Structure 1
C-alpha cells in the first residue's frame, strides 16, 4: 500500500472507528452521568447501558451513521466513483424499508433527523429524489460524503460537485452544503498529504481562486481589501462565502498557540458546544485533529470523552486523524475490536486503489 493509499484507507477506517466508539457513550449531556456509566476515561468500544441510545448493540458494532457510510463506500467501490442513481437505489432498497419515520426504529437503534425527514418525503409522500431534502443543521451528510471526499481527494472540483450533489439529497440549506463541502475539501487535502495547520486554508483559497472549489472569493490575497485600480478579485461561486474554508486553520492556530490551552482536550466540547449542529461539531473536530496530529488515539478518545454528540465528533475527528496517521498509524486494537473490520478494511482498500489510480 502506497502512502497515499494508506492515508485514504486511514480516513475511512478512522471514521468507522470513531462512529463505533460512540455507540456506548452517545449523547450524554450530563458529564457526571457519563463518568458514572463509563468511567473516568473511555478508552475503547463500549456497550450501551439499558435505556440509552443504541441499546441492544454490542461494543464494536456500527450504528446507523456507520451503516450508511458503509452503504456509500460500497456504492463508490462497485461503481468506480460516485453514481447518484446507484446510491439512491441502495437507500431505497437497503435502508428505507427498515425505517418507519420514528427516531428509535431502524438499524443501529437510532435514525437521525435528516434521514427521517427524507424518509417521510420519499416513502410516505412519494417524492422523487431531488425533492426530499430538509433543513436539518446536523452533520449526517458529512458522515457519508467523507467517503466521496476520499474518493476524489486529488480532484477538488469533482469532489465539490459530488459532495454537494449527495448532500442536497437530504439537507438543502446552502450554508450546510457549504460546510459539508468544506470538510470534504479538507479531507481531500489531508489524504493528499497536507497537514491540518495554519496554512491549510490558504491552500483551500488557492483552489477557490483557480476555480476548483465553488466558493465566492471577495478579497485579495491574505484576505486584504482590493485597492483602487487593481483587478477585481471577486469570483462568483455557488457558496456566498469562503468562511467554511477558513475555519480549519483558525482551529489549527488555536491548537498550536501556547497561550490558548484547552485542558484536558476533551473539554473542547464545552468550548465549541456539545450539541449536534454542524457549527458545534466542525470546530471541535478540526481542533482535535490539529492538536493531535498523527496521534489517532488521542484525537478520537478526546472526541469521545467530551460527551454530548460525541459520536459525530469522533467520526469526523477520526476521518481527519486517520488521514494524517494513515491506516498503518491507527493502533491495532481499534481495528481488532471493530465488528466487520475485515470487510470494512477491504472496502477501504479498494477505494484507496481507485484514488491511487486516478492520481497516478
Structure 2
C-alpha cells in the first residue's frame, strides 16, 4: 500500500470509527451523567442506554451518518466518481423509505433535523432535488462529503465544486456551506500529504488565488466584490469571505502553543461548545487534529469523552487524524470492533485505487 492509499483508507476508516465510538455516549450534555454511566474514561465501543439516542443498537454499529456515508461511498466507487443523480436516487430508494419524519427513528436510531427536513420536502411535498435543502446549521453534510474530499483530494477545484454541490442538497445556509467546503479542503490537503500546521491556511489561500477554491480573497490586490445571488456559490470566488479557511491555522497555532493548550484535551467541548452547530464543531475538530496529529486513538477518545455532540466531533476529527496517520495508525481493536469493517475497508481501498488512477492520468474533472 502506498502512502497515499494509506492516508485515504485512514481518513475513511477514521470517520466510520469516530461515528461508531460515540454511538453509546452520544449527546450527554451533563458530564457527570456521562461518567456515571460509562465510567471515568471511555476507551472502546459501547452500547446506547435504553430510552436514549440510538437505543437498541449494539457496540460498534453506526449512526445514520455512517449509513449515509456508506451510500455516497458506494455511489463513488460504482460510478468511478461523483454522480449526483445516482447519490440522490440512493437517498430516495434506500434512506427515505425507512424514515417517518420523527427524530428517534430511521437507520442508526436517530434522524437529524437536516435529513428530516429534506425527507419532508422530498417525500411529502414531492419537491425536486435542488429545492429541498433546509437551514439547519449542523455538520450533517460534512459527515458525508468527507468522502468527496478524499476522492478528489488531488483535484482541489473538483473537490470544492462537488462538495459545495452535495452540501446544497440538504443545507442551504451559505455560512454552513462555506465552513463545510473549508473542512473538506483541509481534509483534501491532509490526504495529499500536507501537514496540519500554522501554514495550512496559507496553502489554502493560494488555491483561492489560483481559482481552485470558491472563496473570495477580499485582501488580494485587484479583487472585485463577488457577484450576488445563491446561484453563484458553486463557482470560484463566490463564498464572500475566506475566513472559514483561515480558522484552521489559528487553531493549529493555539494547539502548538504551550501557553494556551486545553488540558485535558477533552475539554475542547467546553471551550468551543458542546452543541451541534458548525461554529462549535469545526473549531473543536481542528484543535483535536492539530493537537494529536496522527495519534488517532487519542484524538478520538478525547472527542468522545467531551460529551455533547461527540459523534460529529469524533467522526470529523477521525477523518482528519486518519488522513495524517494513515490506516496504520488505527488501533486494531477499533477496526475489528467496527461493524462491516471488511466491506468498508474494501470501499476505501477501491476509492484509493480510483484516486491513484486519476493521478496517473492527471485527470481534473
TM-score (ref. length: structure 2): 0.95
- Residues 211-236 of structure 1 show CA distances to partners (whole Å, capped at 9, x for unaligned) of 0001000114xxxxxxxxxx524574
Residues 118 and 132, structure 1, Cα contact 8 Å, conserved in 2 = yes
Which residue of the partner structure matches residue 226 of structure 1?
none
Which residue of the partner structure matches residue 260 of structure 1?
260
Which residue of the partner structure matches residue 49 of structure 1?
49
- Residues 195-221 of structure 1 show CA distances to partners (whole Å, capped at 9, x for unaligned) of 11100000000000000001000114x
Q: Following the alignment from structure 2 to structure 1, what is the Cα–Cα distance between the partners of residues 143 and 28?
A: 20
Q: CA deviation at 1:356?
A: 1.4
- Residues 265-318 of structure 1 show CA distances to partners (whole Å, capped at 9, x for unaligned) of 000000000000010000000000000011010011100000000000000000
1:29 aligns with 2:45: no
Residues 217 and 235, structure 1, Cα contact 8 Å, conserved in 2 = no
Which residue of the partner structure matches residue 99 of structure 1?
99
Q: Following the alignment from structure 1 to structure 2, what is the Cα–Cα distance between the partners of residues 303 and 131?
A: 34
Q: Following the alignment from structure 2 to structure 1, what is the Cα–Cα distance between the partners of residues 283 and 73?
A: 25
Q: Following the alignment from structure 2 to structure 1, what is the Cα–Cα distance between the partners of residues 307 and 37?
A: 12
Match of residue 232, structure 1, among 222, 229, 236: 222
Q: Following the alignment from structure 1 to structure 2, what is the Cα–Cα distance between the partners of residues 114 and 48?
A: 22
Counterparts of 1:72-151 in structure 2, within 5 Å, are: 72-151=72-151
DSSP-derived class of the 2:132 partner = coil
DSSP-derived class of the 1:240 partner = coil
Which residue of the partner structure matches residue 289 of structure 2?
289
Which residue of the partner structure matches residue 159 of structure 2?
159
Point out where structure 1 has 5 or more consecutive residues left out of the alignment. Answer: 221-230
Q: CA deviation at 1:165?
A: 0.6
Q: CA deviation at 1:23?
A: 0.5
Which residue of the partner structure matches residue 61 of structure 2?
61
Q: Following the alignment from structure 2 to structure 1, what is the Cα–Cα distance between the partners of residues 127 and 222?
A: 43
Which residue of the partner structure matches residue 223 of structure 1?
none
Q: CA deviation at 1:334?
A: 0.6
DSSP-derived class of the 1:7 partner = helix
Residues 216 and 241, structure 1, Cα contact 8 Å, conserved in 2 = yes
DSSP-derived class of the 2:258 partner = coil
Root-mean-square deviation (CA, aligned residues, Å) is 0.9
TM-score (ref. length: structure 1): 0.96
Q: Following the alignment from structure 2 to structure 1, what is the Cα–Cα distance between the partners of residues 218 and 164?
A: 21
Stretch moving more, 263-272 or 347-356? 347-356
Q: CA deviation at 1:127?
A: 0.2
Which residue of the partner structure matches residue 230 of structure 2?
none
Q: Following the alignment from structure 2 to structure 1, what is the Cα–Cα distance between the partners of residues 126 and 81?
A: 27
DSSP-derived class of the 1:135 partner = coil
Counterparts of 1:179-198 in structure 2, within 5 Å, are: 179-198=179-198
Q: CA deviation at 1:357?
A: 1.4
Counterparts of 1:338-357 in structure 2, within 5 Å, are: 338-357=338-357
Counterparts of 1:264-275 in structure 2, within 5 Å, are: 264-275=264-275
Point out where structure 2 has 5 or more consecutive residues left out of the alignment. Answer: 227-236, 361-365
Q: CA deviation at 1:331?
A: 1.1
DSSP-derived class of the 2:51 partner = coil
Q: Following the alignment from structure 1 to structure 2, what is the Cα–Cα distance between the partners of residues 347 and 56?
A: 27
DSSP-derived class of the 2:89 partner = helix
How many residue pairs get matched? 350
Residues 255 and 261, structure 1, Cα contact 8 Å, conserved in 2 = yes
Counterparts of 1:165-176 in structure 2, within 5 Å, are: 165-176=165-176
- Runs of 4+ in structure 1 off by over 2 angstroms are 233-236
